[in-house]
């Protein structure tokens, strides 16, 4: 699978980011992570890369619509539960892309930064594969329902600054998943979809680590630029029009993901 893929990590990340086939993309990213562990892939941190390719690569389906146009379906029906699994599958597909984008787009970061985001990309690919396979057991495939692109929209807004990217994608957009996972798991289990509930358990455990990586590099960039993290985050959220945070919050997961006690106290005061 890697015979046509560049032997340099950031170029390889761009290659898979541009790949439109979700099955090839997810398998390719997992194979890339394995090749990296075997020492078969190099890393050039200083190169400023550009691309003429259309990114991210995505299939003709699902149809992408506005958030408000995604049909609401009842969890009490088979099609409703399938639509929910499809929505989660789409989130994970976008999450693969955002991790790959974090690798190729931003030069001159420490070597560990790129290794961290490769780990994220491979885990998101695993999540996509698990959810896609489970969707198949319900008689549906990825692309069968309309979807929205809210996660990638924030990726596009933050292409100009790694500080904004770390602040507003992993520690804002993805951190919302930490809050949403427990009630979502409960709904799926109550509906009798124990397999889906167990997949949510896997995703939540991994996503804590992903948000922790976002926090790690947000705080690192703040330190290198001489910025105070809490005030800097508030400023970036306003500048980039980040979604307003609404509870209930998964405080335990957010603490494990590296949010400071002052940030957690502020969240607990949100009505």
SS (H, E, C) 41-86: CECCCCCCCCCCCCCCCCCCCCCECCHHHCCCCCCCCHHHHHHHHH
Residue 271 pLDDT greater than 80, yes or no: no
For residues 141-149, average pLDDT:
93
Q: Please, what is the average pLDDT of the chain?
A: 94
For residues 132-156, average pLDDT:
93
Q: Cα separation of 136 and 26, whole Å?
A: 16
Residue 104 pLDDT greater than 70, yes or no: yes
Give the pLDDT of residue 1.
55
Domain locations in the chain as residue ranges: 60-268
Q: What does the pLDDT look like over 23-67, one tens digit per residue?
A: 999 999 999 999 999 999 999 999 999 988 889 999 999 998 887
Q: Cα separation of 24 and 59, whole Å?
A: 11
For residues 1-8, average pLDDT:
79
What single DSSP character describes residue 4? T
**Residues near 147 by Cβ (< 8 Å), separated by ≥ 6?**
62, 63, 64, 65, 70, 86, 87, 90
The pLDDT-based confidence of 152 (bands split at 50, 70, 90) is confident
Give the pLDDT of residue 29.
98
Q: Cα separation of 249 and 262, whole Å?
A: 14
Written as six digits, the tokens of 180 are 């949403």
Taking the model in full, what pTM does it have? Answer: 0.95
Q: What does the pLDDT look like over 212-231, one tens digit per residue?
A: 999 999 999 999 999 999 99
Contact 93, 142 (CB under 8 A): yes
For residues 117-121, average pLDDT:
98
SS3 at position 38: coil
Domain 60-268: which topology? Ferritin (1.20.1260)
Residue 69 pLDDT greater than 80, yes or no: no
Q: Write the DSSP string, 148-192.
A: --HHHHHHHHTTT-HHHHHHHIIIIIIHHHHHHHHHHHHHHHHTT
For residues 186-210, average pLDDT:
96
């Amino acid at each position: 699978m890697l015979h046509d893929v560049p032997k340099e990590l950031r170029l390889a990340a761009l290659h898979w980011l541009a790949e439109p086939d979700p099955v090839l993309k997810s398998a390719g990213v997992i194979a890339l992570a394995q090749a990296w562990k075997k020492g078969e892939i190099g890393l050039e941190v200083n190169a400023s890369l550009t691309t003429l390719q259309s990114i991210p690569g995505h299939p003709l389906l699902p149809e992408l619509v506005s958030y408000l146009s995604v049909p609401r379906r009842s969890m009490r029906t088979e099609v409703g539960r399938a639509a929910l699994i499809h929505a989660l599958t789409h989130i994970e597909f976008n999450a693969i892309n955002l991790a790959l984008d974090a690798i190729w787009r931003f030069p001159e970061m420490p070597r560990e930064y790129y290794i961290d985001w490769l780990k994220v990309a491979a885990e998101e690919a695993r999540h996509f594969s698990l959810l896609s396979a489970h969707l198949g057991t319900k008689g549906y495939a990825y692309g069968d329902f309309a979807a929205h692109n809210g996660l990638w929209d924030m990726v596009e807004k933050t292409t100009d600054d790694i500080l904004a990217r770390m602040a507003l994608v992993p520690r804002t957009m993805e951190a919302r998943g930490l809050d949403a996972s427990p009630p979502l798991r409960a709904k799926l289990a109550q509906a009798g979809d124990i397999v889906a509930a167990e997949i949510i358990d896997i995703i939540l455990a991994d996503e804590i680590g992903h948000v922790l990586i976002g926090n790690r590099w947000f705080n690192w960039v703040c330190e290198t630029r001489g910025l105070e993290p809490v005030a800097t985050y508030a400023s970036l959220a306003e500048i980039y029009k980040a979604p307003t945070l609404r509870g209930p919050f998964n405080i335990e997961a957010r603490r494990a993901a590296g949010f400071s006690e002052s940030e957690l106290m502020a969240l607990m005061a949100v009505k």
